[in-house]
């Protein structure tokens, strides 16, 4: 298993504790794992745990779920790229992909639950409107891990898993995603839960990093360019961190891949801040869509508080690797989705369509050369097939909470 220390981007080593992944010096930076294993050596464990030497876990869960990497002759030909590799996380049996919750969020949920077990168990608390909820509920349902999920009312009923062992509790909130987050903060304050930690959670980041690890196993080298659609940008930070480990390994090249990150127009706050050369997302980066977020095509990409400026965050990742942001319209994403469907049989998550559209743009504008090794992170897909083949059950909310519920009533609803 991964033997490691946690280190602050300023250099200080930090004692490992699941509950508090903040740097004790009060520094805002993202703590990072530093593994004693220098080389990437896949192990005999199933699913994502073949990379357990580079996961912050001491135990493995029984799962088939893992990213896959492959080349698509037709997509490569369409784009005129000779060395295009695709990392895919989702449900696509023909390509060996069996991630039932259909996105790379499951790669975050699996090692997080291993850590929860490593630290003595507990109930993971999260607020989510989409793929994160589905991933954590899937892993919890499959492995008996416990979680309490808070979702906005309109997402209740959409949460589906292959197996529900009764360990997943779901609460809806009469309000939007921001209200669900606020409610989860109130529930956290009641005590007794493990907040999943977001981008600070090293299990989430190193779990996402396995997509690139799988890619590098297939490619035999680090790519020149990495493409991904981002909302929080945590996947991009993970790719940077995984790349640094792979450079240190020594067998895959010594250049970090450039990070080519895409957001869905008009919600492109990180793109605006980056293009203006700012380390911080300002108010004006977020304006224009005060109430427009739910109308965004790829709504998993709408994060208002991404770990962009924090030390070890997206700004530092892009500064270290080079690269750029792409703003992709819905029409461009939909047209990329059509190209994909003409070549491959699994459908894509809207966010993955955005990523593919950004690659199409980069190829058309000669921003990359046809000989370059390119890695496209397809972060989600296959929901329609999973729906047909996996016999999903919906998890129903225990209650729909009003935003202004009293502390006492909330405690009653949660601890009944």
Interface ranges with ligand PLP (CB under 6 A):
103, 105, 131, 229-236, 300-301, 349, 351-352, 379-380
DSSP of 47-81: GGGGGGGGSS-SS--------EEE--HHHHHHHT-
Rounded distance between C-alpha atoms, residue 258 and residue 320, angstroms = 9
Burial class of residue 224 in the structure, from the number of CB atoms within 10 Å of its CB (0-12 exposed, 13-18 middle, 19+ buried):
middle
Rounded distance between C-alpha atoms, residue 384 and residue 257, angstroms = 32
List the end-to-end C-alpha distance of the chain, in Å, as a whole number. 38
The verdict on whether omega for the bond into residue 266 sits within 30 degrees of 0, i.e. cis, is: yes
Q: Which is nearer to ligand PLP, 114 or 232 (CB)?
A: 232
Q: Could you tell me the smallest distance in angstroms from the CB atom of residue 369 to ligand PLP?
A: 26
> SS3 of 7, please?
strand
Q: Could you tell me the smallest distance in angstroms from the CB atom of residue 208 to ligand PLP?
A: 7
- Return the structure tokens found at 328: 């992709």
Closest-approach residue to ligand PLP (CB):
235
Q: Which is nearer to ligand PLP, 197 or 253 (CB)?
A: 197
Q: Could you tell me the smallest distance in angstroms from the CB atom of residue 349 to ligand PLP?
A: 4
Q: Which is nearer to ligand PLP, 52 or 378 (CB)?
A: 378
Q: Could you tell me the smallest distance in angstroms from the CB atom of residue 238 to ligand PLP?
A: 7
Q: Could you tell me the smallest distance in angstroms from the CB atom of residue 393 to ligand PLP?
A: 21
Q: What is the dihedral of CA 85, 91, 97, 100, to 10 degrees?
A: 130
Q: Which is nearer to ligand PLP, 116 or 236 (CB)?
A: 236
Rounded distance between C-alpha atoms, residue 81 and residue 366, angstroms = 11
Helices (H), 59-169: 73-79, 105-118, 131-143
Q: Which is nearer to ligand PLP, 79 or 300 (CB)?
A: 300
Q: Could you tell me the smallest distance in angstroms from the CB atom of residue 61 to ligand PLP?
A: 20
CB 357 within 8 A of CB 339: no
Q: Which is nearer to ligand PLP, 214 or 410 (CB)?
A: 214
Burial class of residue 107 in the structure, from the number of CB atoms within 10 Å of its CB (0-12 exposed, 13-18 middle, 19+ buried):
buried
- State residue 181 phi and psi, 5-degree precision: -65, -45
Q: Could you tell me the smallest distance in angstroms from the CB atom of residue 220 to ligand PLP?
A: 25
3-state helix, strand, coil in the chain (%, to 5): 40, 20, 40
Q: Which is nearer to ligand PLP, 90 or 145 (CB)?
A: 90
Q: Could you tell me the smallest distance in angstroms from the CB atom of residue 178 to ligand PLP?
A: 17
Q: Could you tell me the smallest distance in angstroms from the CB atom of residue 100 to ligand PLP?
A: 14
Q: Which is nearer to ligand PLP, 76 or 103 (CB)?
A: 103
Q: Could you tell me the smallest distance in angstroms from the CB atom of residue 181 to ligand PLP?
A: 15
Rounded distance between C-alpha atoms, residue 208 and residue 212, angstroms = 8
Rounded distance between C-alpha atoms, residue 211 and residue 382, angstroms = 17
């Amino acid at each position: 298993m991964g033997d490691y220390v946690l280190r602050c981007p300023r250099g200080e080593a930090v004692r490992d504790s699941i509950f508090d992944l903040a740097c004790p010096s009060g520094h805002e930076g993202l703590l990072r794992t530093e593994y004693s294993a220098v080389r990437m050596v896949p192990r005999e464990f199933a699913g994502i745990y073949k990379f357990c030497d580079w996961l912050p876990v001491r135990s493995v869960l029984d799962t088939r779920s893992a990213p896959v990497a492959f080349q698509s002759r037709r997509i490569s030909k369409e784009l005129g790229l000779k060395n295009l590799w695709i990392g895919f996380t989702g449900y696509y049996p023909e390509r060996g992909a069996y991630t039932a919750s259909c996105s790379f969020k499951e790669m975050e949920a699996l090692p997080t639950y291993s850590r929860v077990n490593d630290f003595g168990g507990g109930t993971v608390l999260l607020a989510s409107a989409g793929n994160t909820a589905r991933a954590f509920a899937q892993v919890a349902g499959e492995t008996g891990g416990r979680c309490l999920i808070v979702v906005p009312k309109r997402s209740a009923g959409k949460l589906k898993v292959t197996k529900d062992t009764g360990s997943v509790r779901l609460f809806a909130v009469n309000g939007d995603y921001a209200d669900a987050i606020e409610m989860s903060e109130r529930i956290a304050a009641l005590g007794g839960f493990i907040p999943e930690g977001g981008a600070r959670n090293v299990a989430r980041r190193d779990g996402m990093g396995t997509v690139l690890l799988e890619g590098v196993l297939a490619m035999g080298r680090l790519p020149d360019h990495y493409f991904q659609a981002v909302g929080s940008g945590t996947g991009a930070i993970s790719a940077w961190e995984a790349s640094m480990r792979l450079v240190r390994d020594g067998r895959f090249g010594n250049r970090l891949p450039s990070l080519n990150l895409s957001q869905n127009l008009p919600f492109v706050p990180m793109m605006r801040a980056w293009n203006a050369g700012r380390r911080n997302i300002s108010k004006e980066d977020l304006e224009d869509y005060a109430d427009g977020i739910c109308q965004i095509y790829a709504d998993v990409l709408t994060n208002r508080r991404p770990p962009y400026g924090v030390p070890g965050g997206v700004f530092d990742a892009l500064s270290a690797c080079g690269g750029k942001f792409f703003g992709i319209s819905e029409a461009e994403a939909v047209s990329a989705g059509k190209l994909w469907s003409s070549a491959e049989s699994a459908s894509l998550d809207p966010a993955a369509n955005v990523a593919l559209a950004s690659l199409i743009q980069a190829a058309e504008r000669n921003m990359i050369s046809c000989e370059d090794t390119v890695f496209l992170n397809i972060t989600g897909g296959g929901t329609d097939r999973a729906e047909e083949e996996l016999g999903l059950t919906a998890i129903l909310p225990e209650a729909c909470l009003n935003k202004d519920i009293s502390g006492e009533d909330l405690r009653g609803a949660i601890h009944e």
